């Protein structure tokens, strides 16, 4: 069932049509069939472009949520009022052609706007609309039964009759431009193995196989004046002067001065949702000690992977995302203050790759301990959101004097695949602390956090409470503890001890009353009984505990497991 439309405006990633929800997240079954569009033997359309946002796992709106990981989306451009002859090859999962096999062509009226129709049957996208939108079942009125031929191929002819006044405007045929988010006249098609009726039951059956058949989704845009021809970058207008779609990747192996780095998935989600870059953009947070130098290295290739030797490139130091008092040096060694003032473009620094397509740049930071960032929780965590002393670095092939030169209608950042680096100048190594505990019986706050003042604690820097973690359950380093003496009418407070958390850990407490006193233990000691109803860090000592000893058990749990440690007991309660 075909879902809401998602607008991702990006070169190679625009107007992504998603599919009606089966569930928020769908588990993909083993592929049972493969349906691929045969572009070479299809005719009547002007050109096509694979929409890479649909199958890019970095994009949170990717089609893999609703389909198999092998799903593909193609934007086809066809002349308004034309007839398109489409052909698909249908095979089983091993690649064997499925001959003389029933298949169903699903043409989705919810994504067929506004007057594009079929020759047979007539598709009316406004049919069954009640004024509040389309009923996904009632409007699913174009499930067309077909049959493959002896070689596993199936064809279908589709005619558009949209009035020219309602057609989409023609986009450049430059190899990178796709229909804009405002596109409104298109027809979406999907093909599946099997026969599915135009009914709620048929729709449910078809939904169920979305995650077990690898398919190509076609979205045909009916545009005024579209003609078949070679890819041409226009001399003027959108696409004019577009640079090659090269690939720029950060090389961490030959970069120096970086303490650690992480992939910032939240940043990727944001920039892909905003469609500012290609779907193959990466975003790395690098962490360096304040006041130090780092030599950054990149490897630059053409789209085929061939190194671009002795090629001009431009390094951009972006003030809009370079904060605090960090300074850098330009290509002449002069100090440049990257402080965003609302209209500063920052530094566009011309560089040249070497004979192997590599290029480096040395960047100097002049922050002090007073102005630098506090380190994050561990070497897996993103930067601390409350402080941001960073320098954002981007690299493109070509020479650009300023922002306007690299962001005309084609926008170089929407054409070239690149790695964005954001260097955070921090005061030292990550800090893992024992955190704080609650003052009531309602549980214990998760451990860890940022040490806001004073020296950096490096004694337990192996903790990795966020992200992938160490892959190991927490390890107790110092046992939990209780006061040695206690009396009726008082309240005792548990110390959680010290732990190597090994991941994003949280603590829970249980309390025990024991007939004898004793040392800390890994297992529940003999002659100890659980005190029900107490889970916080405080325990009120009542008369029922007189003559007994009290223990607390702390359990630390991360994504790899749980570890429990029993404290030494109090003395016998007086």
Task: Quickly count: other Cβ atoms within 10 Å of residue 507's Cβ.
Answer: 25
User: Which residue, 226, 220, 189, 230, is CA-closest to 88?
Assistant: 189
The structure tokens listed for 525 are 């000691």
pLDDT of residue 2: 30
Within 8 A by CB and 6+ apart from 232, the residues are 173, 174
How far is Cα of residue 148 from the mean position of the Cα atoms in its chain?
38
Q: How far is CA 372 from CA 181, 289, 361, 387, 426, in A?
A: 41, 9, 22, 8, 5
For residues 135 and 198, give the distance between their C-alpha atoms in angstroms, rounded to a whole number: 13
How big is the chain, counted in residues? 574
With b for 16 or more beta-carbon neighbours within 10 A and e for fewer, the 31-64 pattern comes to bebbbebebeebebbbbbbebbbbbbebbebbbb
SS3 sequence, 459-515? CCCCCCCCCCCCCCCCEEEECCECCCCCCCCCEEECECCEEECCCCCEEEEEEEEEC
Q: Give the position of tokens 């930071």.
A: 365
User: Which residue, 207, 185, 210, is CA-closest to 75?
Assistant: 185
Q: Dump the DSSP string for 149-187.
A: -TTSEEEEEEE----GGGSBPPPP-SSS----TT---EE
For residues 556 and 432, give the distance between their C-alpha atoms in angstroms, rounded to a whole number: 14
Answer whether 204's CB lies under 8 Å from 196's CB: no
Ramachandran region of residue 80, left (φ > 0), alpha (ψ -120 to 50) or beta?
beta
H helices present in 278-329, as ranges? none
Mind listing the pLDDT tens digit of every residue in the chain (574 residues)? 232 222 222 222 222 232 332 223 344 567 899 999 999 999 999 999 887 666 665 555 567 777 888 888 899 999 988 889 999 999 999 999 999 999 998 877 656 654 444 444 455 545 544 444 444 445 445 678 899 999 999 999 888 888 888 888 888 777 767 787 677 788 888 999 999 877 667 777 887 888 899 999 999 998 988 888 877 666 555 556 677 889 999 999 999 999 899 888 878 877 776 667 888 899 999 999 888 888 999 999 998 899 999 999 998 887 667 765 556 666 566 666 655 444 455 677 888 999 999 999 888 787 888 888 888 767 777 787 656 778 888 999 988 877 777 776 667 888 899 999 999 988 887 754 433 333 333 333 333 333 222 232 333 333 322 233 456 788 888 899 999 998 898 888 888 888 777 655 667 889 999 999 999 999 999 999 999 887 777 888 999 999 999 999 988 876 678 899 999 999 999 8
pLDDT of residue 442: 33
pTM, two decimal places: 0.47
For residues 90 and 96, give the distance between their C-alpha atoms in angstroms, rounded to a whole number: 8
> Hey, is 52 helix, strand or coil?
helix
For residues 347 and 328, give the distance between their C-alpha atoms in angstroms, rounded to a whole number: 10
Largest CA distance in the chain: 95
The structure tokens listed for 267 are 């940043």
The structure tokens listed for 164 are 């020219």
H helices present in 217-306, as ranges? 265-273
Strand partners, 136: none
Pair type for strands 213-223 and 186-193 = antiparallel
pLDDT of residue 154: 95
CA angle 554, 559, 565 (to 5 degrees): 20
Answer whether 433's CB lies under 8 Å from 531's CB: no
pLDDT of residue 420: 94
pLDDT of residue 456: 29
Task: Quickly count: other Cβ atoms within 10 Å of residue 497's Cβ.
Answer: 19
Task: Quickly count: other Cβ atoms within 10 Å of residue 6's Cβ.
Answer: 18
Pair type for strands 293-301 and 358-364 = antiparallel
Write down all domains in the chain, each with its CATH number in brackets.
Answer: 5-223 (no CATH), 247-426 (2.60.40.10), 475-566 (2.60.40)
pLDDT of residue 8: 22
For residues 192 and 148, give the distance between their C-alpha atoms in angstroms, rounded to a whole number: 11
Q: In what order do the strands lie in the sheet with 561-566?
A: 528-530, 506-514, 549-558, 561-566
Answer whether 159's CB lies under 8 Å from 85's CB: no
Within 8 A by CB and 6+ apart from 430, the residues are 375, 376, 377, 378, 379, 381, 461, 463
Answer whether 480's CB lies under 8 Å from 552's CB: yes
The structure tokens listed for 68 are 């198999």
pLDDT of residue 293: 85
User: Which residue, 108, 107, 44, 54, is CA-closest to 76?
Assistant: 44
pLDDT of residue 45: 94
For residues 415 and 400, give the distance between their C-alpha atoms in angstroms, rounded to a whole number: 15
pLDDT of residue 453: 29
| DSSP single-letter state for residue 406 | H
For residues 221 and 356, give the distance between their C-alpha atoms in angstroms, rounded to a whole number: 42
For residues 24 and 413, give the distance between their C-alpha atoms in angstroms, rounded to a whole number: 31
Ramachandran region of residue 472, left (φ > 0), alpha (ψ -120 to 50) or beta?
beta
Strand partners, 76: 48, 220
């Amino acid at each position: 069932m075909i879902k809401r439309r998602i607008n991702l405006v990006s070169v190679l990633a625009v107007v992504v049509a998603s599919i009606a929800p089966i569930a928020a997240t769908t588990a993909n079954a083993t592929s049972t069939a493969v349906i691929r569009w045969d572009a070479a033997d299809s005719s009547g359309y002007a050109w096509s472009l694979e929409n890479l946002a649909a199958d890019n796992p970095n994009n949170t709106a990717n089609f893999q949520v609703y389909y198999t990981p092998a799903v593909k989306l193609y934007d086809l451009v066809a002349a308004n009022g034309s007839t398109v002859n489409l052909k698909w090859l249908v095979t089983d999962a091993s690649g064997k052609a499925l001959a003389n096999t029933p298949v169903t062509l699903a043409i989705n009226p919810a994504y067929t706007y506004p007057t594009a129709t079929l020759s047979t049957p007539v598709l009316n996208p406004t049919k069954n609309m009640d004024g509040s939108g389309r009923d996904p079942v009632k409007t699913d009125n174009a499930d067309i039964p077909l049959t493959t031929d002896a070689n596993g191929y199936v064809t279908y002819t589709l005619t558009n009759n949209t009035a020219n006044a309602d057609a989409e405007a023609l986009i450049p045929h430059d190899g990178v431009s796709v229909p804009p988010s405002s596109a409104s006249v298109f027809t979406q098609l999907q093909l599946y193995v099997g026969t599915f009726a135009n009914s709620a039951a048929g729709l449910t059956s078809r939904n169920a196989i979305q995650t077990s058949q690898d398919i190509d989704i076609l979205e045909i845009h009916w545009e005024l004046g579209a003609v078949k021809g070679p890819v041409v970058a226009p001399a003027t207008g959108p696409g004019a002067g577009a640079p090659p779609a090269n690939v720029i990747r950060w090389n961490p192996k030959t970069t120096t001065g970086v303490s650690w780095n992480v992939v910032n998935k939240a940043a990727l989600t944001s920039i892909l949702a905003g469609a500012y870059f290609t779907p193959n953009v990466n975003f790395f947070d690098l962490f360096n000690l304040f006041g130090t130098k780092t030599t950054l290295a990149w490897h630059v290739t053409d789209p085929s992977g061939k190194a671009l030797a002795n090629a001009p490139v431009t390094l951009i130091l972006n003030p809009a995302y370079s904060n605090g008092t960090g300074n850098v040096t330009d290509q002449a060694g002069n100090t440049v203050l990257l402080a965003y003032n609302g209209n500063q473009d920052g530094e566009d620094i011309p560089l040249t790759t070497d004979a192997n397509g590599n290029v480096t740049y040395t960047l100097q930071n002049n922050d002090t301990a007073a102005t630098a960032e506090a380190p994050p929780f561990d070497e897996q965590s993103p930067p601390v959101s409350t402080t941001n002393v960073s320098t954002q670095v981007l690299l493109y092939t070509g020479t650009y004097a300023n922002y306007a030169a690299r962001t005309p209608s084609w926008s170089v950042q929407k054409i070239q695949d690149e790695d964005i680096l954001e260097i955070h100048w921090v005061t030292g190594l990550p800090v893992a602390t024992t955190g704080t505990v609650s003052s009531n019986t309602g549980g214990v706050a998760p451990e860890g956090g940022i040490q806001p003042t004073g020296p950096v604690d490096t004694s337990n820097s192996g903790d990795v409470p966020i992200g992938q973690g160490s892959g190991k359950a927490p390890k107790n380093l110092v046992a939990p503890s209780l006061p040695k003496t206690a009396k009726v009418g008082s309240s005792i407070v548990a110390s959680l001890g010290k732990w190597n958390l090994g991941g994003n850990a949280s603590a829970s407490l249980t309390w025990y009353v024991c007939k004898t006193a004793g040392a800390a233990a890994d297992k529940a000691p003999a002659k100890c009984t659980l005190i029900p109803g107490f889970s916080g860090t405080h325990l009120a000592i009542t008369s029922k505990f007189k003559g007994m000893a009290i223990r607390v058990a702390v359990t630390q749990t991360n994504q790899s497991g749980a570890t429990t440690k029993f404290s030494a007991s109090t003395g016998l309660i007086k």
